[in-house]
Chains A and B, each alone.
With several copies, the nearest count.
Chain A
Amino acid sequence: METVPPIVKFTSLQKRYGVGPVILDAINLTVAPHDFISFIGPSGCGKSTILKLVSGLSPGSTGELTVMGVKPREARDRQAFIFQDATLLPWLTAQLNVELPLRLRGRPEAERQTIARKMLELVGLAKVADYYPRQLSGGMKMRVSIARALTLAPQLLLLDEPFGALDEMTRNRLNEELLAVRAVAPFTALFVTHSVSEAVFLSNRIVVMAANPGSLHAEVAIDFPYPRRPELRGHPDFQAKVNEVTRLLHEVEIPPSS
């Protein structure tokens, strides 16, 4: 790890929005190439904010943050972001929404269409390719948004609760598809989720966050080898990791006072 330059490096980072309270404090984290890191923690602790910082959408207040050795904004061409909301353009069909990032990079139309269709098939939505967003269900919109991010084959993928609105089977299947995509076109992932078992299944590292102000409470290494098979979920070691993370989570989650 010492020789490879880190993909993302937080050094004593602090974040406030404007002159508001401290949202994230003393964040120190080094993400190595091909890490799949899950962030898990109470609602409002700053998980989305971490991803916004890495993407350069929101600046840090003090401390330092580099992405692939440069400022976050400068590394955007190698990143993709799946937002917490689907953020589809209402005037484009599902297909055209998925094509959008390729269009923005000037890829030829035929290539765009092929890739977009493949991705829509991956998330099980090929049939509704011509629907407008307002004709899609909540989970379908989120899946279009996932398909869109995957078209870019990014080096660094930021995922903000992408599977939160999905039923368990679709979710599991997409978990597996995500790892399959990653096996073919490897990427580093920063992943926000509320599902501990999802985090354990996908990640090699899990960061448990505490709130008020948001900070990194503990890190758990998950060293099951990739590729991971669905059967892993039934394995006792898997359950043990789930229990460990859950326990850590219970440490930070003091019931929100008011």
Chain B
Amino acid sequence: MKKSFSVSTWLLPAVSGLIFIGLWYSVRVVSGLQSWILPTPGEIMAAAVHEHTRLLAAAGHTALGALGGFLLAAILGFFTSLLLGLSKSLRASLYPWLLMLQMTPVIVLTPIIMLWAGPGMPGIITITWLISYFPIVANLTQGLLSTDMNHVALFRMCNANRWQEVLLLRVPAALPYYLAGLRIAATLAPIGAIFGEYMVGNASGGTGGLGFLVYSYNTQIKIPALFATALTSCLLGFVFVAAVAWLNWALLHKWHDSFERADH
């Protein structure tokens, strides 16, 4: 996290990756599991190569849904948290309903989503949004409330209004919280989109995304290809996580303590 682009960022995961893959192979050997329960990394890679055109096309489709839902969550989450951070009474009146929205199983909402957002991409984006929205709100709200009271006193003395206090003080101070929320959302977006494809993607030709491939490989018991699909979804997620990590670095490295000072 600290020096963003150093060797260790690449070398160590690679080494631990080798260990991980070694472990994987030995689990296979020791447990006597078969390929259609736990394929080896080699088998998965072979399947990925073999199926790469389908995987790529599907990843493109899922990426669109994931990106849409993620951006929606990032933006709406930001503004919702502002509202919640702005006043205690807004918080008391809105938070319980937000919690309910988050805690209602998506399947219950699917018919309504189908009806209002429409099936296909709009529905997929809505479901992805629903899944990645709350972590952002919960985090940013906690961040907005955690502002240093001395800084708040400074703003009060400058006669700052509530909006200035939130936008110029609480929001920058809460950025690390927001970014932690975005990081969670980034990992949720691709699986959210896959889930969304499952739930509402079908009604208008849901044979596009990774969600469909998961279904298809599953019924065809093409387990290595199924794991290759999961791997593709992980890679997609990594792109999102990397984007958030970059944003984190860009916004915080100059001043925040999670980045070590030049030399101190």
- Residues of chain B within 8 A (CB-CB) of A80 are 157
Interface string of B138-165 (1 = CB under 8 A from A): 0000000000011101111111100010
- Cβ-defined partner of B254 (8 Å) among A17, A76, A103, A132: A132
Q: Does A101 contact B (CB under 8 A)?
A: yes
A79 closest partner in B (C-beta): B157
Q: Once bound together, how far apart are the Cα atoms of A105 and B149, in whole Å?
A: 21
Q: Does B3 contact A (CB under 8 A)?
A: no
Interface string of A141-160 (1 = CB under 8 A from B): 00000000000100000000
Q: Does A20 contact B (CB under 8 A)?
A: yes
Interface residue SS majority, chain B: helix
Q: Does B88 contact A (CB under 8 A)?
A: no
Smallest CB separation, A185 vs chain B (Å): 17
* Contact present for B153 and A83 (CB under 8 Å): yes
Q: Does B261 contact A (CB under 8 A)?
A: yes
* Contact present for A19 and B262 (CB under 8 Å): yes
* Contact present for B160 and A104 (CB under 8 Å): yes
Smallest CB separation, A34 vs chain B (Å): 21
Taking A57-B153, A89-B172 as contacts, is the C-beta distance between A134 and B158 under 8 angstroms? no
* Contact present for B158 and A104 (CB under 8 Å): yes
Q: State which size class the interface on A falls in.
A: 20 to 34
Interface residue SS majority, chain A: loop
* Contact present for A83 and B172 (CB under 8 Å): no
- Residues of chain B within 8 A (CB-CB) of A105 are 158-159
- Residues of chain A within 8 A (CB-CB) of B159 are 76-77, 104-105
- Residues of chain B within 8 A (CB-CB) of A91 are 172-173, 175, 254-256
- Residues of chain A within 8 A (CB-CB) of B254 are 91, 132
Q: Does A39 contact B (CB under 8 A)?
A: no
A window 71-127: CB within 8 A of B: 76-77, 79-81, 83, 85, 87, 89-91, 100-101, 103-105
B172 closest partner in A (C-beta): A91
Q: Once bound together, how far apart are the Cα atoms of A59 and B261, in whole Å?
A: 12
A76 closest partner in B (C-beta): B159
Q: Does A55 contact B (CB under 8 A)?
A: yes
Q: Does A18 contact B (CB under 8 A)?
A: yes
- Cβ-defined partner of B156 (8 Å) among A76, A133, A152: A76
* Contact present for A18 and B151 (CB under 8 Å): no
Taking A83-B153, A90-B256 as contacts, is the C-beta distance between A100 and B264 under 8 angstroms? no
* Contact present for B256 and A20 (CB under 8 Å): no
Taking A80-B157, A83-B150 as contacts, is the C-beta distance between A89 and B169 under 8 angstroms? yes
Smallest CB separation, A159 vs chain B (Å): 12
B window 100-157: CB within 8 A of A: 149-151, 153-157
13 additional contacts, CB 8 Å, given A17-B264, A100-B158, A133-B255? A18-B262, A56-B156, A57-B153, A57-B264, A58-B264, A80-B157, A81-B157, A83-B153, A91-B256, A105-B158, A105-B159, A134-B149, A152-B158
Sorted nearest first, the 3 A-B pairs with minimum C-beta distance are A18-B262, A81-B157, A104-B158
